[in-house]
Chains A and B, each alone.
Chain A
Amino acid sequence: MSYFHSVTLQRAKCKGCTNCIKRCPTEAIRVREGKAHILEERCVDCGECIRICPNQAKVAVTDRLERLEEFRYNVALPAPAFFGQFGRDVDPGQVLGGLINLGFDHVVEVALGADVVTAAIRRYLREHPQPRPLISSACPTVVRLIQVRFPSLVDHIIPLHTPMDVAALLARRQAREQHGLADGDVGTWFITPCPAKLTAVRQPVGMTLSEVTGAFSMAEIYGMMLPLLAQAPEGGELQQASAHGFGWGRAGGENQAIGAGALLSVDGIHNVIALLEEVLRDRLGDLDYLELQACVAGCVGGSLVAENPFVGRTNLRMLTERLGATGPGFPEEAAVRLLAEAPQVRGPVEPRPVMRLDEDPARAISKTEQLERVLESLPGLDCGSCGSPHCRSLAEDIVRGRAFETDCVFKLREQVHALAAEMLELAHRLPPAMGQRDEGEDGADSNEA
């Protein structure tokens, strides 16, 4: 299968440094012939390499705003994190109005989708005592991370639509019911904090087709909108989401919205990995629900977000407080009905194991044995000079035929050293025609041709 990825490499800018290979949580990057390469089947679009690359060679490909021309009616779907870009002096209504000013015909807040999903999660937790803990499906990086690095945990992912998908459903329904528009005339555009969400739109997991048309970078939209904000029409009537819905944009907000149960929230992909190891070892079975976000501070920390993640987080928290908790939120019955009416149910997530060394189990065993042997012979410094992130991954690459032992600079030196010693040895041996032979050596054969 071929994979779409929003995260891509601009080859010309890559200097072949090894910053990204060390940071990648799925060991999906190698440096070969002086340039980084992304292993498509392992990349989870987390954006860590975008953040760390000193040369801006890693970029997130998002849609261009010109694509609005392709549709008769365009709906903006701002992520909750978008509202964290603005301070106390800006109301959600102004932000929504600003989006209309940018050229959208309508806005449906993803925070409203979050209200719907919150209600559906509460119901699901009550009706399904197993498995535990369940894991939020909202962050597409986490879902993909589980597919490739924790394939045995896919059944822990709650099989519910994400707030983004629900917002798109609501937008399409409104366009159909109020304007009589056919699906093909309606563009639904997510304003995304991260490349992963664009990947989720283009290549959804657990569904065949997303209701979302495309995604615009949050930082780009923010930049375009700022100068227009002052003259934005008051979009107060566009605001439908509850205070808690906006909270989904920051770490802890989803759990706060759900309210009841043994809930745990973890942010930052390396922290998420450490926690999933514990889930895998079955040590967290007394927890009900895990809100896991790949980005530090939550979606406000996405790699396409303009504002500082921690400022964004506080902005959102204060927004929730300012709006005040609004009762029970979206009615559960209505939420469940809405999700049931979706053209596609959200199916189970398929595991996507990437570690297997060979299709044939017996050969895979031999290769794993070889891998352990090679690893034993490597210096264990994990220096990355070979272009693989760790000695272990170089050993894996060697066994897979993608690298050589001499790619390790220390191995290479060892071999050069041995070779030099051998040459020196040879240099001391004079050809028979030049010096005298030692007595008795090879004497018997001396007459043969």
Chain B
Amino acid sequence: MQTPEERGEARLRLEFEVTGLDFATAGSAATRVKRALEHVGFSARAVRRAAITAYEAEMNIVIHARRGLLKVCVAPEAVVIVAADEGPGIADLELAMQEGFSTAPEDVREMGFGAGMGLPNMRRCSDHFTIQSVVGRGTTVRAVIKNDQVGGRGRGV
């Protein structure tokens, strides 16, 4: 009998709970995602794009939502990152996607966040990107990042 690897179905699933306004551990889930992709041998470029996407998704939950889950599924050819939260939701998605748009409060900006580049960067870094949101309920972001030629040098982001 063939193993899942031999059938090309090897998958790695990771899940992290993210808590709103917990700045002490903010970014740790993204760091573990990055580590896992390095272990799997994703190209340097794909690792970086996924690291940026996971980090921004995680930070958006920390900054804008109450709590959420960062879920990652890794296959040899791509990684899927899903960030689903319970939070205020986003009324105008088009506006939120614009570079520089942010509703981050003053104290969060003082910590160096809230540049309004998170969502645009996530879209730029992923090969496929969707965002869904229900006001008063929460937001779900889904990003797919393809693994370029494995072990490849992969320039830029």
A positions within 8 Å CB-CB of B: 131, 151-155, 277, 280-283, 350-351, 353, 355-369, 371-372, 396
Contacts and interface: CB of A to CB of B under 8 A. Distances in A.
B14 A372 contact: yes
Interface stretch (B37-45, B82-90, B99-107, B133-141): B37-45
A353 B48 CA distance: 13
Interface in B30-55: 30-31, 34-36, 38-41, 44-45, 47-48, 51-52, 55
Interface string B45-89: 101100110011000000000000000001111000000000000
Nearest to B155: A155
Contact of A282 (B4, B40, B121): B121
A363 B10 contact: yes
23 contacts: A152-B44, A152-B45, A152-B154, A155-B155, A155-B156, A280-B48, A281-B27, A281-B52, A282-B121, A351-B44, A353-B44, A353-B151, A356-B38, A356-B40, A356-B151, A359-B41, A362-B10, A365-B11, A365-B40, A366-B5, A368-B39, A372-B14, A372-B36
Nearest to B147: A361
B5 A355 contact: no
Contact of B39 (A152, A153, A355): A355
A364 B44 contact: no
A362 B51 contact: no
A357 B41 contact: yes
Contacts of B55: 281
Contacts of B147: 361
Interface in B143-157: 147, 150-151, 153-157
Interface in B7-25: 8, 10-12, 14
B47 A356 contact: no
B35 A355 contact: yes
Contact of B40 (A280, A283, A351, A357): A357
A360 B39 CA distance: 11
Contacts of B45: 152
Interface residues of B, number: 40
Contacts of B30: 281
Contacts of A152: 44-45, 47-48, 154, 157
Chain B CB within 10 Å — which of A151, A280, A366, A368 has the most? A368
Chain A CB within 10 Å — which of B39, B51, B156, B157 has the most? B39
Contact of B12 (A154, A359, A369): A369
A391 to B, nearest CB: 13
Nearest to A350: B153
Contacts of B41: 353, 355-359, 361, 364
Contacts of A367: 39
A44 to B, nearest CB: 16
Contacts of B76: 361-362, 364-365
B74 A365 contact: yes
A144 to B, nearest CB: 15
Contacts of A368: 12, 36, 39-40, 74
A367 B36 CA distance: 10
A371 B36 CA distance: 9
B52 A366 contact: no
Contacts of A363: 5, 10
B12 A365 contact: yes
Nearest to B113: A283
A400 to B, nearest CB: 10
Contacts of A350: 153
Given A153-B48, A154-B44, A356-B39, 14 more contacts: A152-B47, A281-B30, A281-B55, A282-B121, A282-B157, A355-B39, A361-B147, A362-B8, A362-B10, A363-B10, A364-B76, A366-B5, A368-B74, A371-B39
Contacts of A131: 156
A235 B34 CA distance: 54
Nearest to A368: B39
B109 to A, nearest CB: 14
Nearest to B157: A282
B74 to A, nearest CB: 6
B157 to A, nearest CB: 7
B137 to A, nearest CB: 28
A41 B55 CA distance: 28
Nearest to A285: B117
Chain B CB within 10 Å — which of A152, A353, A369 has the most? A152
A353 B5 contact: no
Contacts of B11: 365
Contact of A357 (B5, B34, B39, B44): B39
B70 to A, nearest CB: 15
A277 B77 CA distance: 25
Nearest to B153: A351
Interface string B111-122: 010000000010
Given A155-B156, A280-B48, A355 B38 contact: yes
Contacts of A359: 41
Nearest to B34: A280
A369 B76 CA distance: 13
A399 to B, nearest CB: 9
A159 to B, nearest CB: 13
Contacts of B56: 281
A294 to B, nearest CB: 21
Contact of A364 (B39, B51, B77, B121): B39
Contact of B5 (A277, A351, A362): A362
Nearest to B5: A362
A273 B38 CA distance: 17
A60 B16 CA distance: 42
